[in-house]
Homo-oligomer: A and B are copies of this chain.
């Protein structure tokens, strides 16, 4: 990668390397217009491209932003990344992306690499067990932070670093309220893995809201945080409730903790001949764009995913201030639609 160097440019322009550096980058010490012109011309003619690695080494900052997500192909995360990417561009930062497949080793490894690359900030999207990182990761972050690195989490806050928190619990509670207001009285839940905080929060918010009005769930099942997880959980649920086509007087209303799981559930029920919302109702969470045209339209909670991603990056980059104090809560918005319609 033997490219044109600053030295080459300086030589051709007949100035020192220092001068060339000053005109080519926004230094406060501005050389005379004539000299500057010569340098710019030389740079253009030679096709000079500054070596960001060398700049990073000489300066304090790399202009890199590390972004860790569980699964980039999951629309939840890709929306977050889209927002993060836009905010990074606005701040002239480059995004280093890691998609971990929810593997903790890969996650740790990715973070290490980001630190090795001296990313100016790291954004961690996707919640983990009870807000705790494992020891090694924690130790790395400790040093990272000591060296001026900034950390922002999307989800529940860690012991240090900023956080953008979707109000999963509160929003799930609102959803429950809305459903009860709509006349529902029988509820069930399709939850996610107990190790995923987001899943737990949503489930808890929903169930507690029911409790407050003296109701409780008829049954709860859970599965992976995926379409297939929703599918298999829904089969178990159907068996547990002995759901049958056309049999229900008042359909049970099921809350699946993500839209993607809800879609899997509907698919499972369809195979059993069950219709939504006639035989069973369902609500999801996330308001995934590609699912907005689903039939029946899915009752869900909209989270401003792109804005969440963008805010996380802004907090991470917003130079001044103690980052540990940067906590932002983002509310969800309940969308009542056909999948929970009572005739």
Q: Which of B57, B117, B270 contacts A295 (CB 8 A)?
A: B270
Cβ distance A166 to chain B, nearest Cβ, rounded Å: 17
Report the separation of the CA atoms of residues A75 and B290 in the bound assembly, to the nearest whole angstrom.
8
Closest to A263 in B: B293
Instruction: Decide if A16 is an interface residue (CB 8 Å cutoff).
Output: no
Q: Which of A253-294 contact B (CB under 8 A)?
A: 260, 263-264, 266-267, 270, 288-294
Instruction: Decide if A204 is an interface residue (CB 8 Å cutoff).
Output: no
A-B complex: 5 closest residue pairs judged by Cβ atoms: A73-B82, A78-B78, A267-B293, A97-B97, A52-B117
Cβ contacts under 8 Å, A295 to chain B: 270, 294-295
Instruction: Decide if A195 is an interface residue (CB 8 Å cutoff).
Output: no
Determine if B56 and A53 form an interchain contact, defined as CB atoms under 8 angstroms apart: yes
Determine if B53 and A72 form an interchain contact, defined as CB atoms under 8 angstroms apart: no
**What string of 1s and 0s marks CB contacts (under 8 Å) between A65-104 and chain B?**
0010001110100110110011001000011111101000
Known: A3-B147, A143-B49. A82 touches B94 (CB 8 A): no
Report the separation of the CA atoms of residues A53 and B61 in the bound assembly, to the nearest whole angstrom.
10
Known: A143-B3, A147-B2. A115 touches B49 (CB 8 A): yes
Count of identical protomers in the assembly = 2
Count chain B CB atoms within 10 A of each CB in A4, A288, A295 and give the residue with the most.
A295
Cβ contacts under 8 Å, A182 to chain B: none
Instruction: Decide if A186 is an interface residue (CB 8 Å cutoff).
Output: no
Report the separation of the CA atoms of residues A89 and B96 in the bound assembly, to the nearest whole angstrom.
12
Instruction: Decide if A320 is an interface residue (CB 8 Å cutoff).
Output: no
Cβ contacts under 8 Å, A97 to chain B: 67, 81, 85, 95-97
Cβ contacts under 8 Å, A54 to chain B: 57
Determine if A293 and B227 form an interchain contact, defined as CB atoms under 8 angstroms apart: yes
Cβ contacts under 8 Å, A227 to chain B: 289-290, 292-293
Determine if B94 and A95 form an interchain contact, defined as CB atoms under 8 angstroms apart: no
Instruction: Decide if A300 is an interface residue (CB 8 Å cutoff).
Output: no
Determine if B99 and A85 form an interchain contact, defined as CB atoms under 8 angstroms apart: yes
List residues of A whose CB falls within 8 A of some B CB: 1-4, 47, 49-54, 56-57, 60-62, 67, 71-73, 75, 78-79, 81-82, 85-86, 89, 94-99, 101, 106, 112-118, 139-140, 143, 147-149, 227, 260, 263-264, 266-267, 270, 288-295, 306
Determine if A116 and B60 form an interchain contact, defined as CB atoms under 8 angstroms apart: no
Cβ distance A213 to chain B, nearest Cβ, rounded Å: 32
Cβ distance A312 to chain B, nearest Cβ, rounded Å: 15
Count chain B CB atoms within 10 A of each CB in A1, A81, A115, A289 and give the residue with the most.
A1
Cβ contacts under 8 Å, A86 to chain B: 99, 101
Cβ distance A326 to chain B, nearest Cβ, rounded Å: 20
Cβ contacts under 8 Å, A260 to chain B: 290
Determine if B98 and A96 form an interchain contact, defined as CB atoms under 8 angstroms apart: no
Q: Which of B3, B53, B116 contacts A50 (CB 8 A)?
A: B116
Count chain B CB atoms within 10 A of each CB in A56, A72, A115, A294 and give the residue with the most.
A72
Cβ contacts under 8 Å, A89 to chain B: 98, 106
Cβ contacts under 8 Å, A106 to chain B: 89
